[in-house]
Amino acid sequence: MKKEKIKDLIEDPNIGMTLIVKTVARITIALILLYGFYIIIYGHLTPGGGFAGGVILAIAYTLMMLAFSRHIALVKLSDFWASMWDNIGMLAFIVIGFVGLGFGYFLFNFLSKGKPFSLVSAGIIPLLNLSIGIKVGAALYAIFIGLSIYGRLVLEEEE
Amino acid sequence: MGNIAMPLTVAIPMLFAVLILITGKFWRGVGSYLGPLAVFIPLYLSFFLLGVKDTTYIMGGWIPPIGIVMVLDGLSKLMLIIINGIAFFSIIYAISYMSKYTAQFKFYALFLLMVAGMNGVVLSGDLFNLFVFLEIASLASYALVGFGVESEELEAGFKYLILGSVASIVILFAVAIVYNITGTVNMADVANTIGNPMLNKAVIFALGLFIFGFSLKAGLVPFHAWLPDAHPSAPAPVSAMLSGVLIKALGIYALIRVTFSVMGAPTEILSIIMWLGVVSALVGVLLALGQYDLKRLLAYHSISQMGYVALGIGLGTPEGIAAGLFHMFNHATFKSLLFLDAGSFEQSTGTRDLRQMGGLMKKLPITSIGTIAGSVSISGLPPFNGFWSKILIIAAALASTQYLAAAIATFVAFGTLASFVKVMRFSIIGPLPKIYQNLKESPFSMTFSLLALSIICLISGLFYIFLMDSLFYPATNAILKQSAYISMVLGIGG
Amino acid sequence: MLLYILDMLVFGLGIYCLIAKRHLIKKIIGMVIIEYSVNLFLILVGYRINGIAPILSPGENPIVFSQVAVDPLPQALVLTSIVIGLGTLALMSAYSIKLYEKYRTFDMSEINRLKG
């Protein structure tokens, strides 16, 4: 879709929620995404981690879906790519496990543990957190969008 | 320090499931190439593990009871062979059978996840991972039951989903109680801490919850309501997996592991399991007698035959347990064979109703041979394998002076025979209806699985003494020697 | 003790909702309530009154810390079971949409095409 057309869709008052919601959503979505990545990347130091951060990432996209309508969300991240990222996250996790096998054990922490309480530490755990975060975020978004598309189809069939 | 093949039996099906999901977006037929390969590797590994000494594998280098541990003992080896063997034949069969479905790569991915989950269940060394793998396998099976998205399949799938989730949550609840008492979830450590379970009321409660949860997964009466709906509704390879393997790995195996290895087999609990088995055997066969839907009839027989297994296990003697395990192996072979046969009949004739079949011996010879082999095995006629395991169970029941149980088991054997005489009378002999004049035998991949399973039924009947010595008595030893299990996992002398 | 009793009350409510209600979505809600009561039970198992969060900060003595912090293992277990619950919930919702498409009703007592 062309940029102008997306802009028209975003600003069309008949699509999505009211202007107030749209304005707030436009500001907050970026912040929510940032916060999600923060939770994922600092998962080995603070509470949270892959799953919690991934849920927050998915919430950002779900907010987009609710505020601006499903079409805008699908332009930003299509269902194909959502399910692709979902699989890539899981593949990354398993591949990291297999690499650990080369060092003796499945899922062995083969990277240097680093200094405790610094961002780059704990070996493979941040990498695993990142892959889980991507997987959970994409999967949850895919679930929302899938249920939404499919539920709409069923309702339209009825009318 | 453990064998590298153990985590691979779980990891490889999972890896291939993801690969199929990714490549399937561009090439829909990828599953029929990668799927059988992904099951063949764990099958090869499980035969390899059969010759390996009992050992543990430490995940990520963290030693138990703190780290996650995988345990390989005689029972796990037996279950790995059953799971991957049946999965291999089912997935070969599925190459032709599933080709009519549009999203077949999703079928293969779910199937592989289910196999990975079950391999994880039988290798897992702590209660919580047992629960997690059990949920992986169950979730995949919930989705597979409704795979055809017809209204009956969805209804059965939803029923199965609700009841299965209740069972899973109850199992989690029991794990939480056990953790509350012992402060650990490692099975060997729990067994070490608890000692005699009958002295602590909370442990008895947890054990009751475990029995409820695992019996529901195993489909024992009175928790069987989902089974006759869910098993027939699934596509034939999935039915074969559900009836052949899933109820054993998730139900009977987990029940054995918890009652024997963790709780030390208190006699009261064993008699509960035995009577659950007797009631299941009787009720299952009585309900099966009146059925005309072929797959539903087979599903009721699954309940009945699982009752035999539970009866053998519940006797608690080495002979009884070995006979029960032997019957579990036999049931996996002949019930998956019969379900695959039913799928072949259904695909050719378009119906599962026995009254509309007849004379199919002339048109579908290989499928009919499979049906005869399976029916003779399940009814317990020599020299097929079902005969030996049933007679061993009855003999073990007589030896432990459970005369009523032995009498009911004998009666059930005759009921099964009657029921399968009906199956053969309606499906393969008799006049051929006119509409079936142009039927053709099923494609090669289906007939290959049917013939292979029939031959396994015959061979395991002929060489049952060899199998008992090499597979089932080691498994029985692993079940009965709780102290050996504890010392193997925790690495302490004893 | 009161906490455990209240938790079991929630569990009972969930069972009641699952059995007594005929609406599909209400059954799903009942299922979720049961699940959360068990999760709550797991958290209660590891809870310590006046305990601190199990996060080690720099310079803290691990032995002293282990005596005042709450048990982190049940929290990890609960997180796993929440993830599993999410998967089950998603599957149940998908099933209920599909069932609605086929039967045009959410009433479980009208969804009865299976016989025997």
Query: Packing angle between helix B473-480 and helix B74-97, nearest 10 degrees?
Result: 130
Residue count of chain C, please give it.
116
Q: Report yes or no on B314 lying in a domain.
A: yes
Beta-carbon count within 10 A of B208 CB: 14
> Domain check: are B230 and B175 in the same one?
yes
Which among B211, B232, B264 is the end of a domain? B264
User: Min CA distance, A37 vs chain C (Å)?
Assistant: 19
DSSP string, B222-260: TS-TTHHHHHHHS-HHHHHHIIIIIIIIIIIIHHHIIII
Question: How far is the alpha carbon of A157 from chain B, nearest alpha carbon, in Å?
Answer: 17
Q: Token pair for residue B309?
A: 């297994």
C-chain CB neighbours of A47 within 8 Å are 53, 55
Quick: pLDDT tens for B272-327.
999 999 999 999 999 998 888 888 999 999 999 999 999 999 998 998 999 999 99
The contacts of residue B259 (CB under 8 Å, 6+ apart) are B207, B210, B211, B265, B266, B269, B270, B273
Element (H, E) at B29: none
B66 and B120 together in one domain = yes
Q: Is there a domain that residue B480 lies in?
A: no
Q: Is C76 on the interface with A (CB under 8 A)?
A: no
CA B282/CA B305 separation, integer angstroms: 10
**In whole angstroms, how far apart are CA A98 and each of A39, B121, B164?**
26, 20, 32
B235: left (phi over 0), alpha (psi -120 to 50) or beta: beta
Domains of chain C: residue spans and CATH: 2-110 (1.10.287.3510)
pLDDT of C29? 93
Instruction: Note whether B84 and B43 are within 8 A (CB).
Output: yes
- Rounded to whole angstroms, what are the CA distances from B31 to B22, B94, B96, B139, B451? 11, 10, 12, 20, 23
Beta carbons of B241 and B39 less than 8 angstroms apart = no
- Put simply, the answer to whether C42 touches B165 (Cβ < 8 Å) is no
Where in the sequence is the domain holding B326, given as residue range(s)?
266-462
Q: Burial code of B298-330, b = ≥16 C-beta within 10 A, e = fewer?
A: bbbbbbbbbbbbbbbbbbbbebbbbbbbbbbbb
Residue B152's contacts (CB-CB under 8 Å, 6 or more residues apart) are B233, C113, C114
Three-state SS at B35: helix
**Segment B258-276 mean pLDDT:** 88
- Report the residue of chain B nearest C79, measured CA to CA: B132
Query: pLDDT confidence of B493, banded at 50, 70, 90?
Result: very low
Gap between the terminal Cα atoms of chain C:
46
Contacts B57 to A, Cβ<8 Å: 105-106
Question: Is C75 an 8 Å CB contact of chain B?
Answer: no
Would the CB atoms of C38 and B157 count as touching at under 8 Å?
no
Weakest mean pLDDT among A100-114, B121-135, B246-260: A100-114
Shortest Cα–Cα distance, C102 to chain A (Å): 10
Q: Is B489 among the domain residues?
A: no
- List, for residues A5-34, the tens digit of each pLDDT value: 777 777 777 777 888 888 898 899 999 999
**Residue B151, token pair as written in the block:** 């209204």
Check C101 against A140: CB less than 8 A apart.
no
A146: nearest CA partner in chain C: C94
C88 touches chain B (CB under 8 A): yes
| In a shared domain, residues B258 and B271 | no
Q: How far apart are CA B445 and CA B93, in angstroms?
A: 5
Do B212 and B330 lie in one domain? The reply is no
CB atoms within 10 A of CB C60: 12
Q: What is the ipTM of this complex?
A: 0.93
- Quick one: closest CA in B to A79, which residue? B25
Burial B413-448 (b: 16+ CB within 10 A, else e): bebbbebbebbbebbbeeebeeebeeeeebeebbbb
- The number of domains in chain B is 2
Closest residue to C90, CB basis, from A46, A143, A158: A143
pLDDT, tens digit (0-9, with 9 covering 90-100), for B13-65: 999 999 999 998 888 888 888 889 999 999 999 998 888 888 888 877 777 77
Residue B1, pLDDT above cutoff 60: no
DSSP state of B55: E
Domain boundary among B216, B241, B264: B264
Amino acid at C78: V
Query: Min CA distance, C1 vs chain B (Å)?
Result: 13
Q: What is the residue whose two structure tokens read 């013939």?
A: B451
Q: Do B345 and B413 have their domain in common?
A: yes
Let me know whether B258 and B337 are in one domain: no
Q: For residues B271 and B314, is the Cβ–Cβ distance under 8 A? A: yes
Those of residues 278-337 in B touching chain C at CB distance below 8 A are 291, 293, 296
Please give the average per-residue pLDDT across B425-433, as a whole number: 83
Phi and psi (nearest 5°) for B150? -90, 165
Angle between helices B473-480 and B318-349 (to 10 degrees): 120
